[in-house]
Amino acid sequence: MAEHTRSSITIEAAPAAVMGVIADFDRYPEWAGEVKEAEVLATDDAGRAEQVRLLLDAGAIKDDHTLAYRWIGADEVHWSLVRSQMLRTLDGSYALTALEGGARTEVTYQLTVDVKIPMLGMIKRKAEKVIIDRALAGLKKRVESGAGAGGTGTGDTAPAAGAAAAGNDPAAGEGPAVTDAPA
């Protein structure tokens, strides 16, 4: 049975603004530090990405992979691995929940990663936690800066800087709550 890692964060913006940033793959290199290139390969009838190629540089893991996306309504997106050089599995999702009448959004990120090289389960879970913490902190900073989808943003958008600016510095033990759970 595959295990996944899950974490949530609250963003001071409406769900539509948050999903706008999540769906704007061309701008990922501006705020998702490990993503060096993003290219939408296919879209659905609504213009949403169905397949995206991402060039990832996360220190020990450098990979060129393609993900397939499945959109569920306006507040949820799931993805799964189509092809990769280093990964066997990369399944994840963002689920958005409106808070306070839609003025704020709880974002829950779930991720399962499996690499082609042997790796202990606890090391994989730690890698998943780091990926999730950085992605949520970067997303929060990007949305709350007002850059949003199609925006230019200002300042440093590196995930570590985003985590510290958002008061969620994983190095200081102030990251989003993460749980390990069987899928």
pLDDT in tens, 91-110: 999 999 999 999 999 999 99
What is residue 148's DSSP assignment? T
Higher pLDDT, 107 or 33: 107
CATH number at residue 119: 3.30.530.20
Mean pLDDT across the stretch 2-22?
Answer: 91
Q: What is the pTM for the complete model shown?
A: 0.71
How does the average pLDDT of the chain come out, rounded? 77
Query: What is the chain's length?
Result: 183
Task: Give the per-residue pLDDT at 51.
Answer: 98
pLDDT at 131 over 80: no
The Cα–Cα gap between 150 and 131 comes to 24
pLDDT at 56 over 80: yes
Quote the domain boundaries for residue 29: 3-182
Structural domains counted in the chain: 1
Q: How many CB atoms lie within 10 A of CB 102?
A: 12
- Count helices and strands in the chain by DSSP H and E runs: 4, 8
The Cα–Cα gap between 70 and 138 comes to 22
**Non-local CB neighbours of 59 within 8 Å, separated by 6+ positions:** none
- From start to end of the chain, where are the E strands? 3-11, 35-43, 49-58, 61-72, 76-83, 87-99, 104-115, 178-182
Instruction: Provide the edge-to-edge strand list for the sheet that holds 3-11.
Output: 35-43, 49-58, 61-72, 76-83, 87-99, 104-115, 3-11, 178-182
pLDDT at 53 over 80: yes
pLDDT at 166 over 90: no
